[in-house]
Amino acid sequence: MGKFVVKETATGFKFDLKAGNGETIATSEVYASKAACLNGVNSVKANCVGEIEDQTVEPVVAVKHPKFEIYEDKAGEFRFRLKAKNGEIIATSEGYKAKTSCENGIASVKKNAPDAEVVEAE
């Protein structure tokens, strides 16, 4: 089962969503407070049911928020970001060499996030 690991940084708080095997699936921005970070966790849990908008193909078929966006970064790797109902980015992925791996990352968020426990970083 997945878990959200909340940790304090030099400038605030962030979370990582980790799969059952401990791999990081998605990461948050840095929030000013722990409460705001926990709100971000709840937002991911609520919005991870969104559809996928693939921005690597033409034409891009727009999908309403909440949604996952697949895109190609400057290094040529595939990434996803999860956007909430208000359009704010609430979680992002690492870079993947293969688009299929990126799609598997989204599937992992959808599977792990809804019931993931929240723990403090050690």
Q: What's the CA gap between 58 and 27, in Å, rounded?
A: 28
- Check if the beta carbon of residue 8 is closer than 8 Å to that of residue 36: no
Question: If we measure between CA atoms, which residue out of 68, 115, 63 comes closest to residue 91?
Answer: 68
> What pLDDT is recorded for position 122?
75
Write down the pTM of the prediction: 0.93
Question: If we measure between CA atoms, which residue out of 45, 13, 44, 42 comes closest to residue 29?
Answer: 13
CATH number at residue 64: 2.30.29.80
The share of the chain scoring above pLDDT 90, in percent, equals 97
- Structural domain including 81 reads 3-120
Domain count, the chain: 1
pLDDT (tens digit per residue) in 33-59: 999 999 999 999 999 999 999 999 999
User: Read out DSSP for 25-88?
Assistant: EEE---BSSHHHHHHHHHHHHHHTT-EEEETTSSS----PSSEEEEEE-TTS-EEEEEE-TTS-
- Check if the beta carbon of residue 2 is closer than 8 Å to that of residue 25: yes
Q: What's the CA gap between 33 and 22, in Å, rounded?
A: 25
Question: If we measure between CA atoms, which residue out of 20, 4, 1 comes closest to residue 121?
Answer: 4
